Structure 1
Amino acid sequence: MPALAGLLVGAMVGVTGVGGGSLMTPILVMLFGVAPTTAVGTDLLYASITKMFGVGVHHGHGTVDWQVVRRLALGSLPAAALTLAWMHFSEASRVKDGFIISMVATMLIITALGMLTKDWLHGLGRKLRVGNADQFKHLQPVLTVLGGIVLGVMVTLTSIGAGALGTVMLVYLYPLRLNAAKLVGTDLAHAIPLALIAGLGHLALGNVNWTLLLNLLIGSVPGVLIGSLISTRAPLAFIRYAIAVVLGAVAVKLMLT
């Protein structure tokens, strides 16, 4: 069963760049009964390894904007490291599972709303980019780094956001520069170092189940390769709306448990 879950989620990640933490962490908690802190840590390492295979495909097709990746990482990687340090020194890693569940549910709702408003944000970004090009381009690097900081903190705490919220940020900040394929590839490339650093930090905190991780990878590696190959042909809008509805339903379920 974990391998099948890995296959399905891996395929979603390859196709849309979305679905790693936002789908896998709730699956681990709700279907497999994994402790929330362990689900977050295991999912982060799972996501970093899975997305490496997807990025290889996207890089080969020239659908990764490495300058944008560097800007995001400039904010997200230090933010992730500082969040891990705070968790270690304040013993926040030992917070009650109820807090983690609430954080995950909140992030799922934010992610679902972001996915549902993605087209509107893209239109707004395009309008600003065309109407006030010089100022918009001047602010792009700073806003991208700030977006990376937000992602670094939230992904480290919940394992959610690197894919879903990352694509929503990028579709607003780079409405002309990134087409659908480049949006997925660039977001995947940024998610790898972020998830890896956060995952290794959780490993040091004892929040990784190795047996579960290996079972997930057995399914996810072929899944993400298949998804990446068909990403330019998939009905991305339909898939995005479907995922958003599922995430909203899962969030409500988590809040009621």
Structure 2
Amino acid sequence: MDLAYIVSGLAVGLLVGLTGVGGGSLMTPLLVFLFGFAPTTAVGTDLLFASITKAGGVAVHHGTHGSVDWKIVRRLAYGSLPAALGVIFCLEYFDIPKATITSVITVALGVALILTAIALIFRNRLMKPSQHGDNQPVGRFERWQTPVTVLTGVLLGILVTLSSIGAGALGTVALFYLYPRLPTVRIVGTDLAHAIPLTAVAGLGHLHMGNVDFVLLGSLLVGSLPGIYVGSHLSARVPEHVLRPALASVLMLIGVKFVWPVLA
């Protein structure tokens, strides 16, 4: 166990508890920029980290609140799990230079962070219509909900496998848009339930490729689990209208930092 990793896990856990933002959008950049891990190792380790930490959240949503729509979870998984397996297969079995794989993952990280920042900025605006139940207008994709949900799963599967980011904030925004009549608590619970098999499959794929650091994984878990607990209890005391835009700005800057050197 490394004390610096434990403290980092604690800090990220606190922020996740405070903001509800997925740990990947915070943890992966921290591992790359602060500790100097290769993007491939940071992504692989964070995926397994995410699958473990999210399991507790789903237990609460499903067991206590009954707020998981398993039909939507299946629709997303029909697209995301094959996509994740396809990405892992391409990365591992095609003769792609390691430098190219690193560049692809780095760009995916940057794009995912930028999209997550945008999702954070507009999240509240998207959440408001979903709280009015049957009185709200029909979503524009309602006639095509099933195929569009599967396609959304495909996109999430690709992005999450390459970057470890997107299963949380981006998945939630997509569900708010596709299922405007679904209560907010069921949106969150459903997205969380879908993230577990997706991050587990993608993480195990990266494990098979040798992209997981188990000492790092254990240290992050030791710090993050109490951090999430404390952050969740503190969340009511911190003004969301201050914290969320500040976090979105940081993620946007980090995303640009990932993307710019590769594309410039």
Q: Same fold (TM over 0.5)?
A: yes
Query: What is the aligned partner in structure 2 of residue 137 from structure 1?
Result: 142
Shift of 1:67: 2.1
Q: Does 1:169 align with 2:169?
A: no
Query: What is the aligned partner in structure 1 of residue 199 from structure 2?
Result: 195
Q: Does 1:111 align with 2:134?
A: no
Q: Does 1:9 align with 2:12?
A: yes
- Structure 2 CA distance for aligned equivalents of residues 239 and 205 of structure 1: 37
For 2:57, which of 36, 50, 54 is the aligned residue?
54
Per-residue deviation, residues 194-235 of structure 1 (Å, max 9, x unmatched): 000000000000101110010001012223344556778875
For 2:88, which of 84, 90, 102 is the aligned residue?
84
Query: What is the aligned partner in structure 1 of residue 248 from structure 2?
Result: 244
Distance 1:102 1:31, change over 3 A: same
Query: What is the aligned partner in structure 1 of residue 76 from structure 2?
Result: 72
Tell me if the contact between 1:76 and 1:194 (Cα under 8 Å) persists in the aligned partners. yes
For 1:154, which of 129, 154, 159 is the aligned residue?
159
Tell me if the contact between 1:155 and 1:162 (Cα under 8 Å) persists in the aligned partners. yes
Tell me if the contact between 1:10 and 1:221 (Cα under 8 Å) persists in the aligned partners. yes
Tell me if the contact between 2:136 and 2:181 (Cα under 8 Å) persists in the aligned partners. no
Query: What is the aligned partner in structure 1 of residue 258 from structure 2?
Result: 254
Letter in 1 for 2:30: I
Tell me if the contact between 2:29 and 2:254 (Cα under 8 Å) persists in the aligned partners. yes
Unmatched runs of 5 consecutive residues or more in structure 2: none
- Structure 1 CA distance for aligned equivalents of residues 238 and 196 of structure 2: 23
Letter in 2 for 1:216: L
Q: Does 1:36 align with 2:39?
A: yes
Report the secondary structure of 2:154's partner residue: helix
Report the secondary structure of 1:206's partner residue: coil
- Structure 1 CA distance for aligned equivalents of residues 80 and 49 of structure 2: 19
Report the secondary structure of 2:253's partner residue: helix
Shift of 1:44: 0.4
Tell me if the contact between 1:13 and 1:51 (Cα under 8 Å) persists in the aligned partners. no
Higher alpha-carbon deviation: 152-161 or 183-192: 183-192
- Structure 1 CA distance for aligned equivalents of residues 199 and 71 of structure 2: 19
How large is the Cα RMSD of the aligned pairs? 2.8
Report the secondary structure of 2:212's partner residue: coil
Query: What is the aligned partner in structure 2 of residue 27 from structure 1?
Result: 30
Shift of 1:253: 3.2
Letter in 1 for 2:143: H
Unmatched runs of 5 consecutive residues or more in structure 1: none
Per-residue deviation, residues 90-142 of structure 1 (Å, max 9, x unmatched): 14482443443222112211221222233445578899x94446x74332222
- Structure 2 CA distance for aligned equivalents of residues 82 and 141 of structure 1: 21
Per-residue deviation, residues 148-180 of structure 1 (Å, max 9, x unmatched): 11000111111111111111101111222131x
Report the secondary structure of 2:148's partner residue: helix
- Structure 2 CA distance for aligned equivalents of residues 188 and 245 of structure 1: 24
Letter in 2 for 1:243: L
Shift of 1:182: 2.6
Identical aligned residues as a percent: 52
- Structure 2 CA distance for aligned equivalents of residues 58 and 238 of structure 1: 27
